[in-house]
């Protein structure tokens, strides 16, 4: 086992030395744009509306196929509901009733991050 470890260390050191050889002034730049990895636990949706109820908030989205997606999130302190950006709702500073959807966010793309059971744990804006 020790021999394998020392062999790996020696190969890494040799590779490191080979990468440092030469006085080349050529600079490589990575022009690839990083995109979020889409997997089974992420769903891309478009924001449509929100309704604020006592004890919960109901967000409505449409998926890429046009099907409606409803996400209910508890807003009770004892519940650990999903995380969502507060800017999805209207600012409550000037409202007389409960907030609705923020008109500036309607039609924008968002990601629903789900756990392995398929429950939404976070809503965040898609880039």
Residue partners of 84: CB distance under 8 A and separation at least 6? 57, 59, 73, 122, 123
pLDDT greater than 70 at residue 1: no
63-114 residue pLDDT tens: 999 999 999 998 887 887 789 999 999 987 777 888 999 999 999 999 999 9
Tell me the per-residue pLDDT of 4-39, one tens digit each, with 9 for 90 and over: 444 444 444 444 545 444 444 444 444 444 444 445
Where do the structural domains in the chain lie, given as residue ranges? 42-125
CB 103 within 8 A of CB 86: no
What is the model's pTM? Answer: 0.65
């Amino acid at each position: 086992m020790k021999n394998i470890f020392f062999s790996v260390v020696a190969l890494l050191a040799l590779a490191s030395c080979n990468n440092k050889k030469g006085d080349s002034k050529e600079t490589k730049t990575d022009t690839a744009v990083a995109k979020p990895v889409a997997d089974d636990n992420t769903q891309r949706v478009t924001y449509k509306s929100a309704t604020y109820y006592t004890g919960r908030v109901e967000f409505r989205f449409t998926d890429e196929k046009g099907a409606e997606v409803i996400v209910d999130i508890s807003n009770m302190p004892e519940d650990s509901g999903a995380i969502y950006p507060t800017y999805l709702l209207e600012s409550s500073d000037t409202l007389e009733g409960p907030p609705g959807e923020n008109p500036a966010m309607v039609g924008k793309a968002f990601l629903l991050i789900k756990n392995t059971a398929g429950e939404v744990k976070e809503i965040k804006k898609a880039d």
